[in-house]
Amino acid sequence: MGLLDRIDEPRDLDALTPEQLTALAGEIREFLVQAVSRTGGHLGPNLGVVELTIAMHRVFDSPRDTLVFDTGHQSYVHKLLTGRRDFSTLRQEGGLSGYPSRAESEHDVVENSHASTALSWADGIAKANVVRGHSDRNVVAVIGDGALTGGMAWEALNNISAARDRRLVIVVNDNGRSYSPTIGGVAHHLDTLRTTQGYEQFLDWGKRTLNRSGPPGRFAYEWLHGLKKGLKDVVAPQGMFEDLGMKYMGPVDGHDEQAVERALRVAKSYGAPVIVHVITEKGRGYRPAEEDVADRFHGIGPIHPETGLPIAPSRFGWTKVFADEMVQIGRRRPDVVAVTAAMLQPVGLLPFSQEFPDRTFDVGIAEQHAVTSAAGMAFAGLHPVFAVYATFLNRAFDQVLMDVALHRAGVTFVLDRAGVTGADGASHNGMWDVAMLRIVPRLRLAAPRDESTLRAALRAAVDVDDAPTVVRYPKGSLGLDVAVLETVDDLDVVAVTGPEDATRRVLLVGVGPMTQTAVDAAATLGEHGVRTTVVSPTWILPLPSALVKLAGEHDLVVTVEDGIASGGFGALLGEHVVAQGHPTPVLPLGLGTEFLDHAERPDIVAAQRLTPADVAGTALAALTRES
């Protein structure tokens, strides 16, 4: 029986010796490598916070003390220390979430896996503790150096720094990376703090000198304090934090559990906001991750634990098509520039950055800034392409509306992971974009169904210089191109089934990757004697006028999309059909307006009744009701 098997709740850590804590850290790393290599998940970030998480749970009393993890993908060690050791179905339906989950444990608080939010959560909880008279409760926020590039984190720091009565400890987990190396002024500042040794060495010398020559009492204190103040900004410029009025401690070796524990105990005793700067190594203790410069182990699929190589090589996917087409566009168009929010490789902009480094801008985890900066670049004669996960564009809606659309800026937004993402859970499903963006004046949105339409949509998008354009596509591999039977009024007809003389006629509209679902559903409807036509418009916003006319020529219209049905594309089509006076009912099929638990995409699609059989059955039931 190992040490980890004896940890059912955080207080079980109290009885362990320093030697046992070191052994426990080793066991946890071995457990993570073996478990996550089978299921996939965020391996590198969790290997880097083992000692830090142990120290936090030894110093603080969760859940009485509140622990908040920024983004939460580094919470696996926290899960283990709070009694959750069954990782066999991690990120799978019914298994552990890849992020903190209130449904799993009272030790989990913030489920949202969007970055740079933890400090605001911690500020609010600490304020509530004061108002409610809980003067003995602490709040601890763990935020990475990457998340400190987000503006919301600095809004929170601005408020936290004004507090003197809140028991709040901010742990800056500094590993120099988010998804990729951290960029910007914050990163440079932390680099300086991280690499400066002379300051603490000079203070140690001063203490030894005082002890030896022995200036007594108050004089000794003032002498040492003056020495510290005079040297602080020269050899250890932590003034950025202390100028905010916040106590700064560090840097601390994040893999020395005892050192981290000592620092946290001092911070806890201070009774007011304190920043503890901890230096960690992402992927610590697992050689393939330690030696990986591309950060492939931030989030992985199943791998061979011995080598770190994927068990099943990834298939050619949507992101790779975008990456290739973006480079080709860049070669033809010197005005096209790329923008990313700390996700250069995940969104497919790495090849573009390698060929056009001076035309690639990584702004850090700062989606709002990215969008408005892109508007500025468009005003000055460039055409920015901002590639971002669909769920993260939610954070910058105001900027899309007021800075880009209002100013008629030619900016292209490429939404990766649109629709059902799956294993990353509620906060990562990119299911809100169409319903959100359909209200933006002049915005044009494409939902390509395959490789050919993705390439064509991207080329068309960057040709628009007087309005925002959006190209959305899902996570995962690409199938074969969907064959087009004919094009009628710019609408691609991809399937026609059932007898020509059928008395019932249905129009199925497949949106983007749901086109194949519509084609398969049409085959079933045809077998039931229903004349079914399947169309797949690439550009869905603004609504194609030809589609409204075509809808009026059928007995029923069914739209199939992988965004929310309420307020989505199908709902928009239904509104226009009614406005044109057509009696044809429009049945929008899509995702429910709810937060979807983590599961694989096929499981979610089935649960939402969006399989071909479901679509066909729903259409047949609607025809029966109408007859």
Pairing of strands 491-497, 531-535: antiparallel
Is the pLDDT confidence value at 204 over 80? no
Q: In what order do the strands lie in the sheet with 412-416?
A: 360-362, 336-340, 383-389, 412-416, 469-472, 444-446, 539-541
395 is catalytic: yes
**Using CA atoms, how far apart are residues 494 and 184, in angstroms rounded to an integer?**
48
Residue 219: pLDDT band with limits 50, 70, 90: very low
**Using CA atoms, how far apart are residues 452 and 417, in angstroms rounded to an integer?**
18
How confident is the model at residue 233, as a pLDDT? 42
pLDDT tens column, 236-260? 445 556 666 778 888 899 999 999 9
Among candidate residues 101, 41, 93, 40, the one with its CA nearest the CA of residue 598: 93
The secondary element (H helix, E strand) that includes residue 62 is none
Q: In what order do the strands lie in the sheet with 491-497?
A: 486-488, 491-497, 531-535, 505-510, 556-564, 586-591
Percentage of residues of the chain with pLDDT beyond 90: 65
- Whether residue 542 is preceded by a cis peptide bond, meaning omega within 30 degrees of 0, is yes
How confident is the model at residue 139, as a pLDDT? 96
3-state DSSP helix/strand/coil % of the chain, to nearest 5: 45, 15, 40
Given the residues 84, 282, 284, 438, the one annotated as active site:
282
Is the pLDDT confidence value at 234 over 90? no
Q: Cβ distance 159 to 117 under 8 Å? A: no
**Mean pLDDT of the region 533-545:** 96
Is the pLDDT confidence value at 304 over 90? no
Is the pLDDT higher at 624 or at 235?
624
Is the pLDDT confidence value at 325 over 90? yes
Residue 229: pLDDT band with limits 50, 70, 90: very low
Q: Cβ distance 370 to 341 under 8 Å? A: yes
How confident is the model at residue 243, as a pLDDT? 64
Given the residues 395, 449, 504, 601, the one annotated as active site:
395
**Mean pLDDT of the region 276-305:** 80
How confident is the model at residue 161, as a pLDDT? 85
The CA-to-CA distance between both ends of the chain, in Å, stands at 68
Is the pLDDT confidence value at 216 over 60? no
**Using CA atoms, how far apart are residues 510 and 284, in angstroms rounded to an integer?**
46
Lowest-confidence segment of 244-258, 350-364, 384-398 by average pLDDT: 244-258
How confident is the model at residue 618, as a pLDDT? 96
Is the pLDDT confidence value at 617 over 90? yes
**Mean pLDDT of the region 490-517:** 95
Residue 457: pLDDT band with limits 50, 70, 90: very high
How confident is the model at residue 539, as a pLDDT? 97
How confident is the model at residue 248, as a pLDDT? 87
Residue 576: pLDDT band with limits 50, 70, 90: very high
Mean pLDDT over the full length of the chain: 87
Buried b (16+ CB within 10 A) or exposed e, 344-383: bbbbbbbbbbeebeebbbbbbbbbbbbbbbbbebbeeebb
How confident is the model at residue 239, as a pLDDT? 55
Q: How many residues does the chain have?
A: 627
Residue 190: pLDDT band with limits 50, 70, 90: low
Binding site: residue ranges?
73, 113-115, 145-147, 175, 286, 367
Residue 146: pLDDT band with limits 50, 70, 90: confident
Residue 467: pLDDT band with limits 50, 70, 90: very high
Residue 3: pLDDT band with limits 50, 70, 90: very high
Residue 299: pLDDT band with limits 50, 70, 90: confident
Lowest-confidence segment of 195-209, 386-400, 505-519 by average pLDDT: 195-209
Q: Which of 93-97, 127-131, 299-303, 383-387 has the highest mean pLDDT?
A: 383-387
Is the pLDDT higher at 291 or at 510?
510
Binding site for Mg(2+): residue ranges?
145, 175
How confident is the model at residue 232, as a pLDDT? 46
Q: Any bridge partners for residue 556, and if so which?
A: 506
How confident is the model at residue 488, as a pLDDT? 86
Confidence (pTM): 0.82
